[in-house]
Amino acid sequence: MSKLHSLADVTPALSLQPLNFAAQDPGVGGWQPLLDQGRAADAAGIDRLVVSDHVILGENLEAYSDPKLGGMVGAQQPTGPDGQWLDPLTVISMWAALTTHTRFMTGILIAGLRRPANLAKQTATIDVLSHGRLDLGVGVGWQREEYEANGVPHAHRGARLDQTLEICQRLWTEEPAAYASEEVSFEKVHCNPKPLQPGGVPLWISGTLNPNVLKRIARFGSGWIPWGPDTMNPIAGLARIRQALEAAGRDASGFQVSSYLQLTQGDGGSIDAEQTMAAVPAMLEAGITDFRVTLNLPKELAACQDMLAPLVQAFRKAVGR
């Protein structure tokens, strides 16, 4: 089971989600701006960098807006089916080599598509080489085609995600490790190195708070990434999560929750950092711990750092750091 820390140990984080995807091949210069944006975020003091995941894309992109399939009402996929999507764990490994303090999160990784032992090894390796800076945001995704292309049944994908997370946690924490189910069984196996973080890589569970997601959070989660209608009121969702954690015998005091910050523009269209962060103290008091911003980032390292530094300064002032 995932280890939680006391609330005093949870430092409020300002998160940034650069685009690890593009509608078409970026051409000259390739993906170097994405790497430079990671370096700029680290230099400016951004606390966490987030990247998203698609292994493949089918042509039924309207499913992204269907809640019955795991999508969100009104949502629109940001690229066409021929869009360019970089693997998030590979991007994180590149950023880890270029930065010193910024943490990393998948937002989200469709973990059930990956072989559990391989995922445990890959993420433990990143955690060790980044000196314990990895968080793993996970969910079931919305696209049937990704499961089919990987030879993974789309039905019961929630149960497959649960199995994947349990195997990862066993391999991260047990020595030797054992596991038994109808699909996967092993005993007396060793998967080293272990993650540097106690309890393994922290797992942030994404999803609308239906009974299955609440159960998954109570079983595995160190944090929650709201989805669907819960993005509009994560505070109410957090109250339900705390009840589920307490019912499962877990201390809810160190649980983390992500929410987006609405950017406020000042004169000339520039970002008003102070006004953008005005809502932070009340959100923090209500239990939000991870404050995410999305920006149209400059491609140049220096310009990107100049854009982010005032936001970091205003955020730290707002949270009393």
Q: What is the mean pLDDT of residues 5-32?
A: 86
- Two tokens, residue 25: 């091949």
CA–CA gap between residue 36 and residue 79 (Å, rounded): 22
pLDDT higher than threshold 60 for residue 41: yes
CA–CA gap between residue 319 and residue 98 (Å, rounded): 27
Asked whether residue 2 is assigned to any structural domain, the reply reads no
Give the burial class of 316: count Cβ atoms within 10 A of its Cβ; 0-12 exposed, 13-18 middle, 19 or more buried: middle
CA–CA gap between residue 207 and residue 277 (Å, rounded): 26
Asked whether residue 16 is assigned to any structural domain, the reply reads yes
pLDDT tens for each residue of 308-321: 999 999 999 999 98
**DSSP-assigned beta bridge partners for residue 290:** 13, 258
pLDDT tens for each residue of 280-289: 999 999 999 9
Q: Where are the beta strands (DSSP E) in the chain?
A: 13-16, 21-22, 48-51, 84-85, 103-109, 134-138, 177-180, 185-189, 203-207, 223-226, 256-260, 290-293
Residue type, 200: G
Q: What is the mean pLDDT of the chain?
A: 95
CA–CA gap between residue 303 and residue 296 (Å, rounded): 12
Asked whether residue 145 is assigned to any structural domain, the reply reads yes
From 55, 30, 33, select the one nearest 305 (Cα to Cα).
Answer: 33
For residue 42, give the CATH number of its domain.
3.20.20.30
Query: Which domain covers residue 302, as residue numbers?
Result: 7-319
pLDDT tens for each residue of 143-192: 999 999 999 999 999 999 999 999 999 999 999 999 999 999 999 999 99
Asked whether residue 231 is assigned to any structural domain, the reply reads yes
Asked whether residue 17 is assigned to any structural domain, the reply reads yes
pLDDT tens for each residue of 223-277: 999 999 999 999 999 999 999 999 999 999 899 999 999 999 887 778 999 999 9
Asked whether residue 1 is assigned to any structural domain, the reply reads no
Asked whether residue 76 is assigned to any structural domain, the reply reads yes
Give the burial class of 276: count Cβ atoms within 10 A of its Cβ; 0-12 exposed, 13-18 middle, 19 or more buried: buried
Give the per-residue pLDDT at 289: 98
Asked whether residue 114 is assigned to any structural domain, the reply reads yes
Number of domains in the chain: 1
pLDDT tens for each residue of 202-235: 999 999 999 999 999 999 999 999 999 999 999 9
Give the per-residue pLDDT at 23: 95
